[in-house]
Amino acid sequence: MQWKIMTTFGLALLLSACGTADDQNGDDGMNENGDMNGNGNGEATDNADNGDMTEDLSNDMVGDDANRQDEMDGMDDMNGEDGAGDGETALDKGVRELELEIQFTDDTEWEFEYEAENDEVDAEVEKDDDEREGDEAREEIEEILGNVQLDTQQDDEEMAQELISALDLNEDDIYRLELFIELENDEMYNVEQTY
């Protein structure tokens, strides 16, 4: 019963507000024929002022939708949510630090270390008995990072698959994969996957 009273009150308030908004001259909005803005036969007439108001409101609503979408996009960015398939690689997002260790089923191991600070990059790659540092290691790691999509919606398995694909490895040859990435925007990814 209470909802009926509230609905009736709301409709009455709405109708009273509509009645006063249409008339700015102080009269009741009726013409001499008893029609509201009519032509005497019950049909509405064209009113340039109302047309302008409708057009202005339509333009405002279109602008509001665009602004609202921009605000929503900005909120996603603030929450660290770039959305699935955003197309940004780890390299695009700016990697501050990376540590990747892969243990293979044949007891060999690969290690990748990368640290960027003040426009300087320290990088090291160890594959079995092959060790590289400096520009050669940096280029290899950055090539890998350029092929890895990072998304906050990914689970550990999906992120590990991204790395395995970027390194062109066979999952059956891997025993364990450990990854730590810290991005410039302070997002961190920590993946530990055993196969």
Q: Say how far apart CA 102 and CA 112 lie, in whole Å.
A: 9
Look at 51-55, 96-100, 148-152 and tell me which has the smallest mean pLDDT.
51-55
Mean residue pLDDT across the chain: 75
User: Looking at residue 89, what is its pLDDT?
Assistant: 83
Of 187 and 85, more confident: 187
Q: Say how far apart CA 133 and CA 138 lie, in whole Å.
A: 7
**pLDDT tens track for 122-141:** 999 999 889 999 999 999 99
Indicate whether 143 pLDDT > 80.
yes
Of 15 and 112, more confident: 112
Indicate whether 194 pLDDT > 60.
yes
Indicate whether 4 pLDDT > 90.
no
Residue 64 lies in a domain: no
Q: How confident is the model at residue 5 (pLDDT cuts 50, 70, 90)?
A: low
Per DSSP, the residues of 108-142 read -EEEEEEEEETTEEEEEEEETTEEEEHHHHHHHHH
Its domain, for residue 131, covers: 94-194
Q: What is the dihedral of CA 190, 186, 86, 77, to 10 degrees?
A: 140
Residue 52 lies in a domain: no
* Max CA pair span of the chain: 100
| pTM (2 d.p.) | 0.56
> What average pLDDT does range 179-192 have in this prediction?
93
* Burial label, 35 (beta-carbon count in 10 A; 0-12, 13-18, 19+): middle
3 state SS of 99: strand
User: Looking at residue 152, what is its pLDDT?
Assistant: 78
Of 191 and 68, more confident: 191
Q: Say how far apart CA 116 and CA 88 lie, in whole Å.
A: 18
Helix then strand then coil, % of the chain, to nearest 5: 40, 30, 30
Of 60 and 185, more confident: 185
Q: Say how far apart CA 21 and CA 48 lie, in whole Å.
A: 17
Residue 155 lies in a domain: yes
Q: Say how far apart CA 51 and CA 68 lie, in whole Å.
A: 25
Residue 119 lies in a domain: yes
Run of H or E including 95: strand 95-104
Q: How confident is the model at residue 16 (pLDDT cuts 50, 70, 90)?
A: low
Number of domains making up the chain:
1
Residue 157 lies in a domain: yes
Of 174 and 151, more confident: 174
